[in-house]
Amino acid sequence: MEHAFKVDLRGIIDLLSNHLYSDPSVFVRELLQNGVDAITARRARFGDFQPVIEARLFREEGQLPLLEFRDNGVGLTEAEVHEFLATIGRSSKRIDEARDTFLGQFGIGLLSCFMVSGEIELLTRSATGSSAVRWLAQADGTYTLEALADTTLDVGTTVRLRAREDTDFYFEYGELRRALENYGRILPYPIHVTDGEEYAHVNAVMPPWLAYAAGDASKRDEVLAYAREELGVEALDAVALRSEEGGLLGVALVLPHATQRSSRQWHSVYLKRMLLGHDLSNLLPDWAFFVRCLLNVDHLHPTASRESFYEDGALKAAREALNNGLRGYIGELAERDPQRLEALISLHHLPLKALATEEDDFFRLLAPEFALETSTGRMKLGEYARRSPTLRMVTNLDQFRQIAQVASAYGHSVVNAVYTYDVPLLRAYARLFGRELEEVDAQTYALSLEDVATGGLGGVLERANVALSGLGCEVGVKRFAPAELPALLIVTNERRLLSDIEASKEVSDGLFSEFLDDYASEYEDVRASRLHLNLNHPLVQDLLHVEQEAVFSRLVQMLYVQAHLLGHHPLRAEELALLAEGLTDMMRWGLRATHLGTLN
């Protein structure tokens, strides 16, 4: 035996309200959409007429507010009401040629009215001339349908909804007007709203960006003013975007402040002039996070929630077109107004770096303008490459701090490539412009310091090592530039990690401290850090002649602490204690020297 499915309407309403639609105010969108589609259908079948959509609110004493939403579109015959309105999932708009003409297609939109109202009343007269009908549907899935004797009812449809206690909010004039403006601001048919006292024509003035996008360049200032006044964006530029694919028209407003990839922009995306949503992540290229877009597409397909687009060939083509539009803007700026491009790069370097790493042509165009931090100051990549035939980079901030002083003594400038995109940018530069790229670290420079024969040092090394025993540091004596630098501390990354663990242990107790001990034991064989004393420095030369062990030891320890400070190495408790003791001794000796004219 064959049986028919039964539908539990309450279940479906629950599905729509809790899982498909993000907000009950979408009922306004669905009503608008049906009104617009009905007018489009009437025009197509019965010729031109003066279209109108009207929302009227009634508040009567002791009653919950009532909304009447009227359009003078094609209307429905009794048979069509049974077929399309009362059959869930059935739509008059799902024929192939209608897909591109109408906003609706799924045959579920009207049900969203049950999110705000217990019943839906619909009065309609078809443009075919048949008699008017009244349909009254309940959320439990039952409905009544009666033919109306009233012959004065105009062609079109009126939907009547009474608020529930908990949905009163959506039936307030201000809220309804905001929702109509939000969804219908650029719809092509006039939309009116009134509550008897207040009245508005919500789409009386078309925003200027559509005309600008369509090619009317004279609207640029109006678009910038619109962005400022309506969106609160002091845009630096307005880029017109259009493409046949997807029937896309839009404008990208260049933001006046730097942005991160993670900062999501509040775009406005319209489908056939009806607001679809604010997210453009599946249309805009990844790197375009420096613009805020206003966009209308005519030929893309919405998902059932109408909050994003369905992934298909048309969406892919539209994505491509947007990508090309924004790239075209940057390329054209380079030719038309290089200074403006320079300003754009310095403000929006992150998105433009992302673009440059994607494509060689853009790399050549943009890369020389990107700012870098180098051991000889901030400069643009182009300038850095002019000054430094071999490109040198460090990828670790600690390393950069350690070698910044020494590298310049060798006439080297080293890039601090710890920021996003720096490494791929330098690699791409080396590849495209045939340069050598060296990754350097503190050890590389320490190895190239000039060795000193230990024979002539008279046991200084041994004594210095005793002075620093227990600190995990070995002492060496070398000659290097700059001569003003008395000592250089080289700390390996593992050693740095170990110091960090020790520092954490100082402030933790119990279990965590034990865990840190375990963790640290894995690094037991780590090489000690190295303190290179610079024999070019007069203080180090004097050190060779200090005989009193206490003084010698303090001097070495203070050189060790000073090297920490100069190299921006964090001080552990041991180093802080040495610093305190050393300073006390120095002061004591200073005072004694003042009084006695001698040190000791």
Ligand X SMILES: Nc1ncnc2c1ncn2[C@@H]1O[C@H](COP(=O)(O)OP(=O)(O)OP(=O)(O)O)[C@@H](O)[C@H]1O
Site residues (vs ligand X, CB under 6 A): 30, 33-35, 38, 71, 73-76, 84-85, 91-93, 104-110, 157
> Minimum Å distance from CB 91 to ligand X?
3
The tokens 């643009």 sit on which residue? Answer: 380
> Minimum Å distance from CB 118 to ligand X?
18
Nearest one of 103, 97, 106 to 73, comparing CA atoms: 103
Beta bridge partners of 145: 135
One DSSP character per residue, 21-71 reads: -S-TTHHHHHHHHHHHHHHHHHHHHH------EEEEEE--TTS--EEEEEE
* 293 phi, psi to nearest 5 deg: -110, 145
One DSSP character per residue, 307-321 reads: SSB--SHHHHHHHHH
> Minimum Å distance from CB 31 to ligand X?
8
104/207 with CB nearer ligand X: 104
Distance of CA 512 to the CA centre of its chain: 36
30 known ligand binder: yes
114/370 with CB nearer ligand X: 114
Give Cα separations from 449 to 405, 406, 407, 561 (angstroms): 13, 9, 11, 21
Distance of CA 423 to the CA centre of its chain: 21
306/412 with CB nearer ligand X: 306
> Minimum Å distance from CB 37 to ligand X?
6
> Minimum Å distance from CB 262 to ligand X?
33
34 known ligand binder: yes
> Minimum Å distance from CB 110 to ligand X?
4
Give Cα separations from 490 to 401, 447, 498, 499, 555 (angstroms): 11, 11, 14, 13, 19
Spatial contact of 427 and 437, defined as CB atoms under 8 Å apart: yes
> Minimum Å distance from CB 384 to ligand X?
56
156/582 with CB nearer ligand X: 156
357 known ligand binder: no
What the block records as the tokens of 82 is 């049974």
* 118 phi, psi to nearest 5 deg: -75, -25
71 known ligand binder: yes
438: region left, alpha or beta (phi > 0 left; psi from -120 to 50 alpha): beta
36/372 with CB nearer ligand X: 36
303/390 with CB nearer ligand X: 303
35/582 with CB nearer ligand X: 35
Binding residues: 30, 34, 71, 157
Instruction: Mark the binding-site residues for ATP, compressed into ranges.
Output: 30, 34, 71, 157
